[in-house]
Amino acid sequence: MMKERAILGAVREYRFQNSELWVDCGDPHMRVTFLKPELVRVRIVPGGDFAPRNSWDAALPDKYFKVVPLELQQTQHALFLHSNAFTVRVDKDTALVEMLTPDGKSFFADSVSPVWEVESFHFTKRIEAGEAYFGFGERGGRMEKQGQTMTNWATDPGIPHGAFVDPMYMAVPVYLVVRPDACYGVYVNSTRRSSFDLSHPGELRFEAQGDELDVYIAYGPQPLDVLAHISELLGRMPLPPKWALGYHQSRWSYGSETDVRQIAATLREKQIPCDVIHLDIDYMDGYRVFTWDAERFPNPQQLIADLKEQGYRVATIIDPGVKVDARYPVYRDGQMKNMFIHNSKGKLATGYVWPDESVFPDFSRADVREWWGNWQDQLLAAGVSGIWNDMNEPALFEKPFSQGSGLGITLPLDAPQGSESEKTTHAVIHNLYGSLMAQASYEGARVLRPNERTFHLCRSGFAGIQRWTTSWMGDNGSCWEHLEMSMGQLLNMGASAIPFVGVDIGGFFGNATPELFARWMQIGSLYPFSRGHSCAGTDLHEPWVFGEEVEAISREYLTLRYRLLPYFYSVFQRAAERGYPIWRALYMHYPNDPQTYHISDQVLIGRYLMAAPILHPGQRARQVYLPQGTWYDWWEGTRYEGGRYILADAPLERMPLFVRAGAILPLGPEMQFSGEKALDPLTLHLFPGEDGMFTLYEDDGISMEYQQGLFSKTRCHLSSDEKQATLTIDARSGTFAVAERQIHVVLRDGRQYQQKTFTDNGEMRTIQFDRE
């Protein structure tokens, strides 16, 4: 049993076995476990009573990893546990822990002992000179987080979020630290209410309810290496269906079949590419989940079939609240099977949401997740292709929605949750609730549609949520500040190992101006998840309502997204395979350049394509930082040497885009939806000046057969000097059959524009261009 207060003491004894060091530090006991040479787990708990693994833990179990060869060294003052990547040092006098790079530089070092109180603990780490801190999930404010305090408690803030709105929808205790000589990432395994405090110079303090300090540290030395290790631990996103990479159109609400058909027809009439239409809560019968309103949507199956003929998929919103109604099958079935959370007195834990009084499934139980997943067949059988999970912080209302809803609250924290073998309370599960609902949604769809990739979207969640779903950042506002804030939010989600993310283009609350919508659509067309969405009671926010000029801008940039789908899809595949972000802050590829640490208004999509959006009204030019190397203006072809700022023109119709030398960018034909045409012709844009490589990934874009190896990869290499540029295309590998097609190879070197064409049958090919 823990004392009222505990701190680390001198090392009394230790033992070392396999990949683990056990240390007796007085009352607290420590376990240092290397899971990989680059990944270590440090656990400390008073009394040495380490908690068993829970079924809902986000991290993989230790037994998943192989034994790591280590060397234990001791001196008069310290224990040193060496892997071939980095070292853990434990001070003998104080038991303070620090990590050391291969050349002996300190990182993730205790500045003082962790402290345990009766119901909480905190640790304080030293911020080293030159370090920059990223990640922490979807937070508002600046991208680099020193100076900020952030609470991990899944919450619907109820107002458009901003720099000082805290907490927010997601709780992601993952962060990435970059400095010129090192990079490391941290996952703090604490699902209860907690906080990061970086508001005091030189230190990071983490405080949490509970008694076990459990931290995973991954060492780079490069940022992408760190994220590969963190994502192996926490899980990687599944490869989405290709249509999910298209544009999504949504509103609260397209309230009838007539509205939906009109939106679909107008998008095609105006040639604005789109793959998915989202249905918000008004498609349901009285907001009862897994139902349809018989008057407004009399034949959903026929509607969805007709939309599919036009190239559309349909995603429907689902909330966790189940209306209390004895005539309602979902409620009746759940009540009979004991699927819902009860309060500490044994009665159903009810609360108000859209359908007024509701109950809530206990997603921490596997049987409840299976039950919920099976109910999705009510939607999937009608042809629905995507499930949009909302309100799953879980967010409840102070009073019935029919009476105005009032302030937001959540379930009672002492409500019991979990199976009989691992009983706990909502205080432990709360931050996980959205992730567990997303897991139920994903796993249910896999059972119901075992060979089809479905799309899942979620508002709340915890670390590791990328295994189950796409995430969006919740209810933003139609203002320039939120357009700018979206950049840091999405970049930090990627730095938290959550790559498939987006925000509501145009803003959810309020009314966008034409200029704001145009600028938002320009960068929004390159979001990993690209969706326009707006709130009931606001003006319509479809691209054509802002006038012909904005409509044309929206069409041009969405057309560009669809042409870039071969590039996007290959980058997504790499994210699924290695855990790399799709959107990358400049420091991801230029960590030795501290200038990049505070640039959040530029983004790399993959390695080679860089966008510099306009984020302020009236701006018609902007400063753009070009990192070291050679860069090309996408639009004009102008060549620049990097390591400096340039002034880029940006009239309303133009968002500055740049391409790094060495790039091989694959583009497809113009399309109105992702499956409209085969990838023929395929156009490869070459940007010489550095050697480069790109692997084009292809599969059927919809089935799960890629997991059995049914895909193909084509590796392309670019080399160049002042006289010649050479593209070498390796023979296509893999078992996915690609039809014979035309490939246009375009050399864009800032001096001339050359094109060669050949018929691609999968064989090796070399293409050369003279540059003199």
Q: Which residues are designated catalytic?
A: 390, 393, 475
Give the three-class secondary structure for 85.
coil
DSSP output for 391-409: STTT-EESS-GGGT--SEE
Coil, strand, or helix at residue 574?
A: helix
Return the number of other C-beta atoms located less than 10 Å from residue 514's C-beta. 15
Q: What is the 3-state secondary structure (H, E, C) of 462-474?
A: ECCHHHCCEEECC
Q: Is the peptide bond before 594 cis (omega within 30 degrees of 0)?
A: no
CA–CA dist 733, 91 (Å, integer): 52
For Cα atoms 79, 81, 84, give the angle at the middle one, nearest 5 degrees: 150
Residues 257 and 304: their CA atoms lie apart, in Å, by 10
Residue type, 359: V
Q: How many Å apart are CA 498 and CA 451, to the nearest integer?
A: 24
Residue 507 tokens read as 């803003």
Place of tokens 């967010």: 395
Q: How far apart are CA 151 and CA 523, in angstroms?
A: 29
Cα–Cα distance measured from residue 678 to residue 669, given in angstroms and rounded to the nearest whole number: 8
140 touches 168 (CB < 8 A): yes
**Quick check: 411 and 428 in contact, CB under 8 A?**
no
Q: How far apart are CA 393 and CA 422, in angstroms?
A: 21
| In contact, 274 and 249? CB cutoff 8 Å | yes
Q: Using CA atoms in the order 331, 332, 336, 337, what is the torsion angle rounded to 10 degrees?
A: -40
Q: Could you tell me the two tokens for 378?
A: 């009510």
Cβ count within 10 A of residue 772: 6
* H/E stretch holding 311: none
- CA 695, 700, 706, 708 dihedral sign is negative
Find, among 459, 655, 447, the residue nearest to 558 by Cα: 655
